[in-house]
Amino acid sequence: MKTFILIHGSWHSAWNWHKVVPLLEAKGHRAIAIDLPGMGRDKTPIQEVKMKTTVARICELIDGMEGKVVLVGHSKNGIMISQAAEYRPEKIEKLVYLAAYLVPDGKTQREYSIQDTGGLLKPYVTMFEELGAHTLQPEIYKEGLYADCDDDITELAKILLSHEPVESGITPLQLTDENFGRVPRVYIECTEDKAVTPFIQRKMYTETPCEKVYSMATSHSPFFSKPAELVDILCNL
């Protein structure tokens, strides 16, 4: 039995994994999907959310688990699992980057995002400077995030998506070979992704090599469109 901790991406929350959790549990594993600070049901004011405290929340959860965990990070929050691995390398069996930002030491998520000129989302991002946050306009949800998902996912997103804190995207990662570098990592690329495009995914896992790269012919959200295929990959890492 493995313990999976599932970390959602920008604007989202634990509901990302509502199809994945029962499938992992049916295969005898433990699966925990959390709302990061300020997201979903977590009521931390968005203007107070910082990368440091978000990573601390993940580490606190890891500390409460018996044995090692598999950390799965989606999209922007690949940066969170990387930083958590720096602080808890002995507790993490594997890092799994699902169409996620795999950023090296001293670099930021934004530095890679701005290179991803083929993505569809940036023109639809609305900034709220007073909150240190931004939102995504609903008209791009379907094409940009859920192109191969059932329409009810887009409708749920219109209700559930929220502000995303900016600070974490401009905070340089602090990683070492001695800690982060010794945790095995794999990458799951989404070849039809229009949010974090295949171009930038491949650039990242080429610059920071992984022990294995899996490919899924999906949009940015395989946990909605092909949850069984995703779970098969996770169970056979």
Edge-first strand order for the sheet with 3-7 is 30-34, 3-7, 69-74, 92-98, 185-190, 212-216
Q: Which residues are catalytic?
A: 75, 193, 220
**Residue owning tokens 């900016």:** 166
For the chain, percent of residues with pLDDT exceeding 90: 100
Dihedral sign from CA coordinates of 116, 118, 121, 126: positive
pLDDT of residue 161: 98
Q: Which two tokens stand for residue 10?
A: 């920008």
pLDDT of residue 37: 98
| CA–CA distance, 93 with 117 (Å, rounded to integer) | 34
**Residue owning tokens 């996770």:** 234
As a whole number, mean pLDDT of residues 1-9 equals: 97
Q: What is the mean pLDDT of the chain?
A: 98
Q: What is the pLDDT of residues 100-144, one digit of tens each?
A: 999 999 999 999 999 999 999 999 999 999 999 999 999 999 999
pLDDT of residue 174: 98
Contacts 24+ apart (CB under 8 A), 53-57: 54/80, 54/168, 55/80, 55/83, 55/84, 55/87
As a whole number, mean pLDDT of residues 76-104 equals: 98
- Walk me through the domains of the chain, giving residue ranges and CATH numbers: 3-235 (3.40.50.1820)
pLDDT of residue 61: 97
Res. 18 pLDDT band, cuts 50 70 90: very high
- Identity of the amino acid at 92: I
Res. 213 pLDDT band, cuts 50 70 90: very high
Res. 226 pLDDT band, cuts 50 70 90: very high
pLDDT of residue 6: 98
Res. 155 pLDDT band, cuts 50 70 90: very high
| CA–CA distance, 16 with 221 (Å, rounded to integer) | 8
pTM given for the model:
0.97
Query: Under a CB-based contact definition with an 8 Å cutoff, are residues 186 and 237 in contact?
Result: yes
pLDDT of residue 203: 98
**How far is CA 14 from its chain centroid?**
11
| CA–CA distance, 62 with 70 (Å, rounded to integer) | 10
| CA–CA distance, 69 with 202 (Å, rounded to integer) | 25
Res. 56 pLDDT band, cuts 50 70 90: very high
pLDDT of residue 181: 98
As a whole number, mean pLDDT of residues 172-197 equals: 98
